[in-house]
Amino acid sequence: MNTLFDRIKIWTRLFLLRIARDIKTSINKDRSLRKSDNLFSKEIKIPVIFSLIPTIVIVYCMLIVDLGINYKTMISTAIFIIVSLVFFILQVQNKEKKIFEDNDAVVLVCLLFIIAILMLQISKEYVSAFLSPVAAFAFMTAILLSSKIGVLYAICLSLFAAFLNDMRFDVFLVMFCGSIVVVSNVKNIRKRADFINIGIKIAIANTTLTTMFYFFDFYKGMVQFRYNLFYGMLNGAFAIVILLVFIPLFEKVFSRTTNIKLIELSDFNNPLLKKLMLEAPGTYHHSIMTADIAEQAANVINENSLLARVGAYYHDIGKLKNPEYFIENQVTGRNPHDSLTPTMSRLILISHVKDGIVLARQNNIDNEIINIIEQHHGTTPMHVFYHRALEEGGDDDINIENFRYPGPKPTAKITAVVMMADSCEAACRSIEEPTATRIKNMVEKIINNKFIDGQFSECPITLKDLDAIRYSIISTIIGIYHARIEYE
């Protein structure tokens, strides 16, 4: 007995130590990104297990309170939750494994689930099962996390809606079809006004399915049919309200970057972009060109091209602090670096990355864009100042490692894309008489050098991706310089 008790003690200790280590690791890992004073730009980091277990307990309690506390309900609800959970976890593991590494996303999945179940119960209890906002929550998950998670939510929530309503097949199918229709549309959402279309689509899907069930004699007469039809249509309007209220809230609290947020950030009336246009026009033009190149390149490797475009708009905003120190803004031909030591020049160049992060935080720019600003130079060396230092100093102490950007290197494919687009745009701009071959050679040289230098060692980019990106960048730049290109 004593041995068993000791073993339990050791297991409990190990379990608590593991949780403590998880918390410590997650705090250390993102400490650099959490220096902001803005409450909403801070991420919430809770270990996965802390989100999952309370969610299961809360949902279980909610269901048995609703269905009646007796041993039959308790056992059947437990089996239903376990089966749904196993299905959900296996599917996520299969299709969207990376979500388990994102603690914020897990918290969001759990929180949305609890709110959805609560709303399902309220709808069923006080109005109608057909008003259950399953489609709204499936769509919200799809836009805040991913379409695949949205589809899984649609399946699970439709099953829960049916479970709460005596396993009614009509409730399951109406909820499921309405959800799938809107989840498949998530990529077309570009502005908040598009939520109205989502509401209309839910109403049409619900009406069609309810009518089908009427003709299958599922309902007791016209009165029940009309009742279900009315609430099925009202479900669309209810979804619009839910989306308008919850999406902006979760975008902020959980730092989710949705396409809608990206479109808002890409507006050239945004104060930061306006300032860049007026105070650093060269950088502004370079950013727009980089955005065109990065967007196309992101497209060919199936990454979020809108994020690439918007990230490129903001990648050099740190140059706003000292615009005249960057070649693209030197219109008078005077180069302030001529009067500085290479070490000073190096510091000024490095500072545009740090200044960019500070400016972005002050302007509540999303973390995904901040990552692009922070990593767009990786640990690339500043060859110009290194060689100048060699010429001026001429001693052995000058090391290229001291003339590198401090990093970090790109950790996501999208950042690597912006990095390549940025360097290729700047380099091709310097070609005096651009030809297709010169552009091709320049782009290949830049991408190869970055690869050999290990700039992509921390991101999951493949050689196949690099080849597709190289091809895309060459054709986009040739397209941009089409008028200037001398044909060989």
- The site for Fe ion (CB under 5 A) is made up of 316, 422
Whole-number Å distance between alpha carbons of 417 and 371: 13
Q: Which is nearer to Fe ion, 51 or 329 (CB)?
A: 329
User: What phi-psi label fits residue 329: left (phi over 0), alpha (psi between -120 and 50 degrees) or beta?
Assistant: alpha
CB of 20 to Fe ion, least distance (A): 39
- CB count within 10 Å of CB 80 equals 16
Judged on CB neighbours under 10 Å (0-12, 13-18, 19+), 370 is buried
Q: Which is nearer to Fe ion, 422 or 465 (CB)?
A: 422
CB of 376 to Fe ion, least distance (A): 6
Q: Which is nearer to Fe ion, 170 or 422 (CB)?
A: 422
Q: Which is nearer to Fe ion, 129 or 372 (CB)?
A: 372
Whole-number Å distance between alpha carbons of 341 and 337: 8
CB of 113 to Fe ion, least distance (A): 41
Q: Which is nearer to Fe ion, 170 or 316 (CB)?
A: 316
The answer to whether the CB of 416 falls within 8 A of the CB of 372 is no
Q: Which is nearer to Fe ion, 182 or 280 (CB)?
A: 280
Of the CA atoms within 13 Å of residue 68, those in its CB half-sphere come to 6
CB of 277 to Fe ion, least distance (A): 15
CB of 312 to Fe ion, least distance (A): 8
CB of 290 to Fe ion, least distance (A): 6
**H helical segments located in 399-462:** 413-429, 436-452
Which residues pair with residue 381 across a beta bridge? 404
CB of 34 to Fe ion, least distance (A): 23
Q: Which is nearer to Fe ion, 366 or 422 (CB)?
A: 422
DSSP letters spanning 368-393:
HHHHHHHHTTTT-B-HHHHHHHHHHH
The answer to whether the CB of 229 falls within 8 A of the CB of 207 is yes
Whole-number Å distance between alpha carbons of 177 and 187: 18
